Every structure is written in structure tokens, then in C-alpha cells.
Amino acid sequence: MGLIPHNLMPVGTVRPYDILILLAIGAIFESATRILLLFYKRKPDSIRKREYALKVLEQRVKKSRALGPPSFVETSKLERQMLAEEKKLTELAEKRTVKLEQNEKLIKNLGYAFNIIVLFCWYGVPVMEFSGERILSPDMILSQKESQNAAISAFDAYLFPLSYLGIGVKISKLGLANPRSSTGALLVVWAAQTTVGKIMDGVEALCR
């Protein structure tokens, strides 16, 4: 008996090994892509050293200015060095931004390709399907339509509001014989990716 009492789900078909495989590949793919993004977002040591050198240079400029006119030549020299370093850092930051956008686009395209592969490999295979016969009394004789309607109602109730969300859920059901009472492989993969994504968001926030 669980901590929270609930009714048994009227599952007619379930593929536990497929679900475990899909959860694993979804979690691995999301982890790999998020770690790559973290690596791309991380500021290189060369830029960190330049930023530190710029701060040191700014301190030297302030001290030189405080000495007044006698150090005018030295101050001008340091200011030119500081401006040149600021310009270089700005250029490097712009290059990093462009590179990051390219990498994010590449990872996004890899995600699309990954979804297509999963959809192709599990096309028409329901990883879980509700059964109308398991909802109502076994003594009742149901027509196929009545059984299907009962399964659809139960599926919508258990997965509300997920069963009504956008085109993504509809895409995940492509090829299924009974799409309104079953779920496909993509939904399982997306569940794993969403969970790992939230964890990685927390890790990224801690690393800042």
C-alpha cells in the first residue's frame, strides 16, 4: 500500500523494457547535449586572464591619473593600452556569442533528428495502452466501440491535461492504432528529457 491511495490504472498493454530503454536514451541524449552547452558557455581561461589583466590595467590608470600632469605621458600610454584591451575583449565576446548560437542551432537540429529516429524505430508501437475491459465490471458485455470509449475516457482522465497539450502530443501518437487511448515512444523520451533538463538547469544555476 502506497502513501497516497489511488485506483489501479486500467492498463491493457505496457512495454516496460521499451519504456526503460526510451527513458535511458532520452536522459543520456539530454545530459550529453546540456553538458556540451555548458562547455560552450563556459568562458575560456584565456579570456579570464585578459579580463584580469584589464582590471589591473584600470587600477594602474587610476593611480597614474592621481599623480596629475607630471605623469600625463604615462597615463595616455596606459589609457591606449586599456582601450585596445577593451576592444579586443569585445571582439572575443562577439565571436563567442556567434559560436554559441551556431552550436545551439546544431544541437537543436540534432534533437530534431533524434526525435525522428525514435519515431521511426517505434512507429506504430504503443508503449502503454488503456483497456476498456479493465475499467468496467467483467460481468458486463461491451461492444468494441463501448470498450474503446471507456479506454479513451480513462486515458484522458489519468493524463489530463497532458492529453490535450499542443501538437507535440499528437505527433508522438503518429501511427498508433488507438491514439486516443495509448501513448507512443516520443512522449516517454520527452518525459526523460524534461526531467534531466530541469536537473541541469539547477546545476547550471549553481555553476554561475
Q: CA Rg, the chain, in Å?
A: 29
Residue 206 lies in a domain: no
Residue 16 lies in a domain: yes
Query: What gap in Å lies between CA 197 and CA 203, rounded to an integer?
Result: 10
Residue 173 lies in a domain: yes
Query: What gap in Å lies between CA 133 and CA 151, rounded to an integer?
Result: 8
Task: State which residues form the domain around 145.
Answer: 11-198
The pLDDT score that the predictor gives to residue 131 is: 67
Residue 125 lies in a domain: yes
Query: What gap in Å lies between CA 59 and CA 34, rounded to an integer?
Result: 38
pLDDT band at 69 (very low <50, low <70, confident <90, very high): confident
Residue 130 lies in a domain: yes
Overall number of domains in the chain: 1
Least confident of 104-118, 134-148, 184-198: 134-148
The pLDDT score that the predictor gives to residue 58 is: 87
pLDDT band at 174 (very low <50, low <70, confident <90, very high): confident
The pLDDT score that the predictor gives to residue 30 is: 95
CB proximity list for 93: less than 8 A, separation 6 or greater = 47
Least confident of 19-33, 73-87, 91-105, 150-164: 150-164
pLDDT at residue 13 is higher than 90: no
Residue 6 lies in a domain: no
pLDDT at residue 73 is higher than 90: no
Phi first, then psi: give them for residue 205, nearest 5 degrees: -65, -35
Residue 50 lies in a domain: yes
Tell me the angle at which helices 16-41 and 185-207 cross, rounded to the nearest 10 degrees. Answer: 30
Burial class (CB in 10 A: 0-12, 13-18, 19+), 182: buried
Residue 18 lies in a domain: yes
pLDDT band at 12 (very low <50, low <70, confident <90, very high): low
Q: What is the value of pTM for the model shown?
A: 0.74
